[in-house]
Structure 1
Amino acid sequence: MTVTYQSRADVPEIEKWRFEDLYVSTADWEKDYQFIETMLPKLKQFDGAIHDGASLYQYLSEKEEVSSKFNLVYVYGMLQADVDTRDTAAQSLVDRAKQLAVKMSAASSFFMPFLLSLEESTLKEYIEQESRLKYFEQDLFDSFRYKAHVLSKEKEEILSQLGEALSSPSHTFNMLNNADIKFGEVTKDDGEKVELTRGMYSKLIEDENRDKRREAYKAYYKPYLQLKNSIASTLASNIKTNVTLARLRNYPSALEKGLFGDMVPKEVYENLIMSTKANITPLHRYTALRKEKLAVEELRQYDLNVPLVKGVKLEISYDEAYETILKALAPLGEEYVSTLKTFKDTRYIDIRETPGKRSGAYNLGVYGVHPFVLLNHHDDLDSMFTMIHEFGHAMHSYYSSKHQPRISAGYSIFVAEVASTVNEVLLINYLLKNETDEMVRKHLLNHFIDQFRGTFFTQVMFAEFEKITHEMAEAGTPLNAEAFNNIYESLFRQYNGDEVVFDEEVKYGWSRIPHFYRPFYVYKYATGFASAIHIAEKLLAGDETTLACYLVFLRSGGSDYPLELLKKTGVDLTTSEPIADALKRFDQLVTEFAE
């Protein structure tokens, strides 16, 4: 039975983050905050005063010190706000940190235009003069890629001052979606009406009772339909802001701006969408199979998540899930498993769902401290998969921080999803291999197919939605609730097939997706999933070379561009092979399940 708490104060300390790992008290936080404020005018004084290797090194080293302290300042407030979004004191810390970020950006806005005004030969000369600049060399030369996209010093300063205002659509949606939203009511088994929570919804939408699923579905979407115009306005503003920034910075398109940092050609993004839609038939076959197995006259959206194998309800406690995860990850070696084992008792994980806590799950790696994993745990199979997914990120953060200097420890989201999804694939294979009950094995196979659909196909659909909406904004086409509805409804039909009969709520799916406020982000789930399928199957086959290469990949942080890091594991996303292989695997899973 899932443990539920009405207050965070009721949760055992061992199941909550230890904020003292960041700061013993808010007074210590305040000291770092004040230190950063005093350092910003000093950084600004370097404007026009960098003339040789020594002064360049002095600026970069002081900037790194300020940035590392700011990271702690921001994270401390953010984590506290996330465990209770209603906590005004925590929100105040976050707001102050955001204001400080704007000041930091303004103080250092001169540097990129200055750097790009240098000749490459001059920069090389500076590095020869000051050997300690070797530490910054890769970053400095990488910055030259941005030469065509950096504005004049004055314009950069103006943009940096607008930073907080430009992020307001995302902030507004997060407050609506996490703090203010009130879902409709659902009926408990005893007939009592209660307000739906996200945690309840994730359980009820999989309930075998179709009336319960329908009631939860309607209650969940109720506030999104009521707020459709407000949310459409925040999303449209976010898209237009992104398009405007891309134009100001001379990118050919918002998509290419989104891919530039990872040095991913737009063909990789477009190939992902085209390859998926060219091989969409197995997903349509699975939707038809779902309708047949559920024996419904009309298949609805609230029928797409219920397990097709009846009577299998896996109750898995948090402790049991943790032990299973450690066994499933054995192919990654003893060091990996023993390190992950320590995370439980060191309070790296905030486990329980409580009122006001941010929904979902994430890992946040903090250099020089440790990873922080947020969960909203329920004692079921989904929660175990969420755990192992976030543990993949956490171990990636742990290894990168341990083996890389600060400057290259941070890794791209593009490679992050590989580390999390390899873990998921190892878990499902472990469960299928060790389960003897045939009905449970069918249930697990069904679960893997649904995970595949959610992590791969749905994310590709989201990626196409982003591409279309940004292209509309670039063409000056109005973006509003109706436009978003039409695009989303059309895509949902293309990806899920003609078997699904649409309720009114289907077309409002766009209104509840936080990832749309981080443009061109979701496609990385799909490329990461395809890459992970390739790596995990080699690990399961006992390929020692792949294991060695994969651990090197985890330790590499951001020391190279994502596509190059993946090539070291044997995955080349500039070809269609990894996507085609993943889709072939999905076809096999559906065929096996149908039989």
Structure 2
Amino acid sequence: MKTYNSRTEVPIEETWNLADLYTDIDKWEKDFTKVENIIPELKKFDGAIHDGKSLYQYLKQSEQLSYTFNHLYAYCMLKADEDTRDTSSQSLLDRMKGLSVKFSGATSFFMPFLLSLDEDTLKGYIAEEKGLDYFAEDLFDSFRYKHHVLTSEQEAVLSQLGEALSAPATTFGMINNADIKFGEVTGENDEKIELTRGLYSKLIEDEDRSKRMEAYKAYYKPYIAAKNTIASTLSAAIKNNVTLARLRNYPSALEKALFGDKVPKEVYENLIKATKENITPLHHYTSIRKAKLGQDDLRQYDMSVPLVKGVKKEISYDEAYELMLKGLAPLGEDYVEALKEFRASRYIDVRETPGKRSGAYNLGVYGVHPFILLNHQDDLDSLFTLVHECGHGVHSKLSSQHQPQITARYSIFVAEVASTVNEVLMMNYLIAHEQNEELKKYLLNHFIDKFKGTFFTQVMFAEFEKITHELAEQGKPLNVEIFNDIYETLFREYNGPEVVFDEEVKYGWSRIPHFYRPFYVYKYATGFASAIDLATKIFEGDKQTLSAYLEFLKSGSSDYPLELLKKTGVDLTTPMPIENTLIRFKQLIEEFSQV
């Protein structure tokens, strides 16, 4: 696998084309000035909305401004992620954060105003101004927030605090992406090379245990060195969530996080409960892992190495893309053509380069197209990352094409369904078409490990979030020792008694960016459970499910997430999807234990 020392070495076709947003910085600056000048115009509506016409004018102007604002923000965010060390890009992003505060400050009056109206008055405004039909559903949905919106003065103060409240996440992002250095480790040819996150994901699967251990120790070393700083940022983030929930009159931070999607807290709690009640197959898999590795002790750096030796798949980016097109063919010709366009039109930034943001994501930009960030490593995991992010990308594309701006942006809750359906279809394709029996076993092992990471690990993270937020709500301290104790306890509960604990295990919480996005990770697990059901039916040729699923991808936020999923046949208000998922995992373990 080729490594790149700078972005200029990467082939142009493997970089995204930000000219689709702005062809040059002068055009960006022109739009920035335009938005900056129009924002005060929105503030003039404060106290000046007295009829349907003025209400429509405010909403229309606000939506138009949001359109341009989102393009501005997307450009500088994507630019900054190309190289987090680049101060000019960081400067643009800082300016946008400042503009965001001004924007939210100018519009902070609106929700308190709207919720001060009675329903009959709002209906009267809509009846007298035809243009308000477009906004009507959104306006009435806002009445759900009546008990959670403060006075206009209080909202204005909170909007001014926006940048300060996001500081813990920003600080962790800079520590994690720009400051953390892992040092050197031993590479394939026994030479010393700089450890990166992408390289770590390969070395932790290396058949040479000493290399796994070396990479593992090196990877955790800087996090442990920064443990107090990171604990402080995480504690601040959690306390901010709790404080905002109290200020807005929510029973808990969890219920505040679930409110927008209209998800009952029982869905979250039942996910954890059902998983822990059915954890035995995961413990069984840990025992199988220990036996197949033939080791006296099983440690965390042994948990990712493939159990089927000598068949590790090297997959170039070109191969990965072709495999994806074949694996996702059950989704139909239009879906596959959309994927081809992603590559031909340079929607994807492929390679890992120094300073580039770690991980992977999709950013849908309404009126343009999706942008996908990868750090491709030419292996099976990278194939699945590509497939996953393209699932988000097609979801963004179809929702933007079939929904107006107001409902084009889908909820994160349903986002993970679109990405995980792709992963399950891809795995089903690979297993079905593989002739080599050893490679089939390898893929089965990979599917189990993917299941473990996307479902069980995310449920464990979700429980960690629940416990830490509840401690903050009770006024109890949050520090390194507390985080360590909670994380270690959960890791033992989920992974079972076979794992011997190294000192690093309990610091697992310190490296998780998603903990700065409260109560997000459970959606990976619910999305995975939904996807198992949908992908199985689609792979088997169920035309009705396929049709319903494609409509789901076009639906954006035109209904609440649980309702959108019900239309595909998946009802997460019942325990059935979770229980079926856990049954499927048990079947996979039984199948693998016999090979």
Give the TM-score normalised by structure 1: 0.99
**Which amino acid letter does the alignment assign opposite residue 247 of structure 1?**
R
Partner in structure 1 of residue 187 of structure 2: 188
Q: Does structure 1 residue 79 correspond to structure 2 residue 78? A: yes
Q: Residue deviations 1:282-323, cap 9 Å, x none?
A: 000000000000011110000000000011121111111111
Q: Map residues 107-186 of structure 1 onto 2, 5 A cutoff.
A: 107-186=106-185
C-alpha separation in 2, matches of 1:63 and 1:110? 13
- 1:318-355 superposed Cα distances (whole Å, 9 cap, x missing partner): 11111111111111111111121111110000001100
1:191, distance to aligned residue in structure 2 (A)? 3.9
TM-fit CA distance, 1:153: 0.7
C-alpha distance in 2 between matches for 1:325 and 1:167: 37
Residues 184 and 223, structure 1, Cα contact 8 Å, conserved in 2: no
- Range that drifts further, 488-497 or 187-196: 187-196
Q: Supply the distance in 2 between the matched residues of 1:319 and 1:212 (Cα, whole angstroms).
A: 28
Q: How far apart in 2 are the matches of 1:115 and 1:266?
A: 27
Deviation for aligned residue 1:3: 2.3
1:149 partner SS: coil
Deviation at 1:190, TM superposition (A): 4.3
Letter in 1 for 2:4: Y
Q: Per-residue deviation at 1:491?
A: 0.2
Q: Hey, what's the Cα distance between the residues in 1 that align with 2:40 and 2:192?
A: 58
1:454 counterpart letter in structure 2:
G
User: Tell me, what secondary structure is at the counterpart of 2:363?
Assistant: strand
What are the residue-to-residue correspondences of 1:65-104 with 2, within 5 Å? 65-104=64-103
Q: Which residue of 1 aligns with 2:448?
A: 449
Which deviates the most, 332-341 or 51-60?
332-341
Q: Partner of 2:480 in structure 1? A: 481
> Partners in 2 of 1:446 and 1:50 — Cα distance?
61
Rounded Cα–Cα distance in structure 1 between residues aligned with 2:195 and 2:418: 33
Deviation at 1:378, TM superposition (A): 1.1
What is the CA–CA distance in structure 2 between the aligned matches of 1:370 and 1:191, rounded to whole Å? Answer: 43
Cα offset for 1:14?
0.9
Question: 1:364-387: CA deviations, max 9, x gaps?
Answer: 000000000100011111100000
Q: What does residue 243 of structure 2 align with?
A: 244
Quote the residue 2:315 is aligned against: 316
* Structure 2 CA distance for aligned equivalents of residues 576 and 77 of structure 1: 42
Report the counterpart of residue 421 of structure 2 in structure 1: 422
Task: Note the C-alpha offset of 1:498.
Answer: 0.4
AA aligned to 2:584 is R
Following the alignment from structure 2 to structure 1, what is the Cα–Cα distance between the partners of residues 188 and 303? 23
- Please name the residue that 2:576 is paired with: 577
Q: AA paired with 2:491?
A: F
CA distance in 1, matches of 2:190, 2:361: 35
Query: Aligned residue for 1:291?
Result: 290
- Alpha-carbon distance in 2 for matches of 1:19, 1:556: 27
Question: The residue matched to 1:367 in structure 2 has which SS?
Answer: coil
How do 1:45-60 residues align onto structure 2 when only pairs under 5 Å count?
45-60=44-59
Q: What are the within-5 Å matches in structure 2 for residues 455-466 of structure 1?
A: 455-466=454-465
Counterpart-to-counterpart distance in 1, 2:334 and 2:273: 40
Task: Provide, for residues 446-472 of structure 1, a one-character-per-residue CA deviation record: whole Å limited to 9, x for no partner.
Answer: 000000000000000000000000000
Are the equivalent residues in 2 in contact too, given 1:489–1:506 (CA < 8 A)?
Answer: yes
Q: How far has the Cα of 1:262 moved from its partner?
A: 0.4
Give the number of equivalent residue pairs: 594
Q: CA deviation at 1:4?
A: 1.4
Aligned to 2:35: 36
2:566 maps to 1:560: no
1-side partners of 2:249 and 2:273: how far apart? 27
RMSD (Å) for aligned C-alpha atoms? 0.7
Where 1:351 maps in the other structure, the secondary structure is: strand
1:226 correspondence with 2:225: yes
1:516-553 alpha-carbon deviations (Å, 9 max, x no partner) = 00000000000000000000111112111101100000
Q: Distance in 2 between matches of 1:251 and 1:189?
A: 53
Contact 1:299 1:501 in 2 (8 A): yes
Give the distance between the partners of 2:267 and 2:483, measured in 1 at CA. 25
Q: Deviations along 1:547-571, whole A, 9 cap, x unmatched?
A: 1100000000010000000000000
**3-state SS in 2 of match to 1:186:** strand
- CA distance, structure 2, for counterparts of residue 71 and residue 138 of structure 1: 22
User: What is the aligned-residue identity percentage?
Assistant: 71
CA contact under 8 A between 1:184 and 1:222: conserved in structure 2? Answer: no
For 2:46 and 2:339, locate their aligned partners in 1 and report how far apart those are by CA, in whole Å: 45
1:169: Cα distance to partner?
Answer: 0.3
User: Equivalent residue of 2:371, what SS?
Assistant: strand
1:42-94 deviation line (CA, Å, top 9, x unaligned): 10000000000000000000000111111011110000110110111110110
Deviation of 1:194 (Å): 2.8
1:335-354 → structure 2 map (5 Å cutoff): 335-354=334-353
Report what 1:327 is aligned to: 326
Point out the more displaced range, 353-362 or 336-345. Answer: 336-345
Distance apart, 1:195 and its partner CA:
2.7
The alpha-carbon distance between structure 1 residues 398 and 189, as it changes in their structure 2 partners (threshold 3 A), is closer
Corresponding residue of 1:394:
393
Q: Supply the AA of the counterpart residue of 1:525.
A: Y
Alignment match, 1:409? 408
Q: Is the 8 A contact 1:455 1:525 kept in 2?
A: yes
Q: Please identify, of 2-11 and 522-531, the stretch whose mean Cα deviation from structure 2 is larger.
A: 2-11
Q: SS of the counterpart of 2:351?
A: coil
CA–CA distance in structure 1, aligned partners of residues 547 and 191 of structure 2: 56
Give 3-state SS (helix, strand or coil) of 1:376's partner: strand
Corresponding residue for 1:199? 198
For residue 502 of structure 1, give the secondary structure of its aligned residue in structure 2: coil
Counterpart position of 1:214: 213
Query: Secondary structure at the residue paired with 1:419?
Result: helix
Report the counterpart of residue 299 of structure 2 in structure 1: 300
The C-alpha deviation readout for 1:128-183, integer Å capped at 9, x for no partner, is: 00011010011100100000000011000000000001000000000000001111
Determine if the alignment matches structure 1 residue 374 to structure 2 residue 366.
no
Q: Please tell me the residue identity of whatever aligns with 2:353.
A: T
Name the counterpart of 1:434.
433
Query: Which AA in structure 1 matches 2:37?
Result: T
Counterpart of 2:425 in structure 1: which amino acid?
Answer: L
Q: CA deviation at 1:12?
A: 1.2
Letter matched to residue 117 of structure 2? L
Deviates more, 1:316-325 or 1:246-255: 316-325
> For 1:82-123, what per-residue CA distance to the aligned partner results, in whole angstroms no more than 9, with x for missing partners?
011011111011000000000001000000000000001100
* Gaps in structure 2 of 5+ consecutive residues: none
Q: Which moved more, 1:315-324 or 1:164-173?
A: 315-324
Distance in 1 separating the partners of 2:187 and 2:546: 48
Distance across 1 between alignment mates of 2:201 and 2:33: 43
Which segment is superposed worse, 441-450 or 33-42? 33-42
Query: How far, CA to CA, are the matches of 1:512 and 1:211 in structure 2?
Result: 23
- Cα distance in 1 between the residues matched to 2:75 and 2:539: 39
Q: Distance between the aligned counterparts of 2:152 and 2:176, measured in 1?
A: 37
Partner amino acid, structure 1, of 2:36: E
CA shift at 1:192, angstroms?
3.3
CA offset digits 1:227-285 (Å, max 9, x no partner) = 00000000000000000000000000000001000000000000000000000000000
Cα deviations by residue, 1:482-531 (Å, 9 ceiling, x for unpaired):
00000000000000000000000000000000000000000000000000
1:280 maps to 2:279: yes
Residues in 1 aligned to 2:170 and 2:555: alpha-carbon distance in whole angstroms: 32
CA displacement at 1:189 relative to structure 2: 4.2
* In structure 2, distance between residues paired with 1:571 and 1:270: 18
| Distance in 2 separating the partners of 1:174 and 1:404 | 33
AA aligned to 1:80 is K
Structure 1 unaligned spans of 5+: none
| Amino acid corresponding to residue 202 of structure 1 in structure 2 | S
Q: Which amino acid aligns with 1:57?
A: Y
Residue 358 of structure 2 aligns to a residue whose secondary structure is coil
Q: Secondary structure at the match of 1:465?
A: helix
Distance 1:234 1:338 in 2: 44
Query: Which runs of at least 4 in structure 1 moved beyond 2 Å after TM superposition?
Result: 188-195
Matched residue of 2:465: which SS? helix
1:343 counterpart SS class: helix
Name the CA shift for 1:191/1:325 in 2 (closer, same or farther; >3 Å): closer
SS in 1 for 2:344: coil
| SS of equivalent residue, structure 1 residue 373 | strand
Match of 1:15 in 2: 14
Separation (CA, whole Å) in 2 of partners of 1:172 and 1:555: 36
